[in-house]
Amino acid sequence: MKYGIVIFPSKKVQDLANSYRKRYDPHYALIPPHVTLKSLEASEGQMKEVTDTLEEIAKNHKGFKMNIKKVSSFQPVNNVIYLKIEPTDELASLHQEINNKIIGEKPEYAFVPHITIGQKLSNDEHSDVYGSLRMLNVEHEESIDRFHLLYQLENGSWSVYETFRLGKEL
């Protein structure tokens, strides 16, 4: 079964992201806007160990501020447009510990914290959409105090398996 470990931003950020995702992201209906910390495949039998490990990781990390500063793109690697999250030591440390301690493959790319707002676009479409969206003035800061373990349903949509509160309050 497929699982993902993610951070969901506030409703305000989700509404902003969804205003673009409904047009430019074919996964719009399958999962809310999120920051992916890790993807993994595991059997139901492995999930007790995974959730126990995530519980320990959550206790080791305190809440942190997440800042979104602009719209960016992964082009030329792929035609993904996203809300760029300013890297912080806290977020990088959480990502690193999850990826070091949870079963599964190592990430394909270096960790660039982001919230996807457009993907699977043709080159022309990407160029047009990114050309207009990168002019947006996006300035947002919020507090993050939890992350979530999701699982993928047969229809391709994602649902929360468990939520983990970060141990040390902001």
The Cα 91–Cα 67 span in angstroms is: 11
Question: Hey, what are 51's tokens?
Answer: 């959730």
The Cα 49–Cα 13 span in angstroms is: 32
The Cα 124–Cα 50 span in angstroms is: 42
Does the N-terminal peptide bond of residue 107 adopt cis geometry, omega within 30 degrees of 0? no
The Cα 131–Cα 87 span in angstroms is: 24
- Considering 34, 61, 126, 148, which one is annotated as catalytic? 34
Residue 95: active-site member: no
Of 158, 147, 163, 168, nearest to 32 by C-alpha is: 158
Of 16, 14, 117, 22, nearest to 72 by C-alpha is: 117
Residue 61: active-site member: no
- Considering 61, 114, 126, 148, which one is annotated as catalytic? 114
The Cα 141–Cα 96 span in angstroms is: 22
The Cα 47–Cα 93 span in angstroms is: 23
Catalytic residues: 34, 114
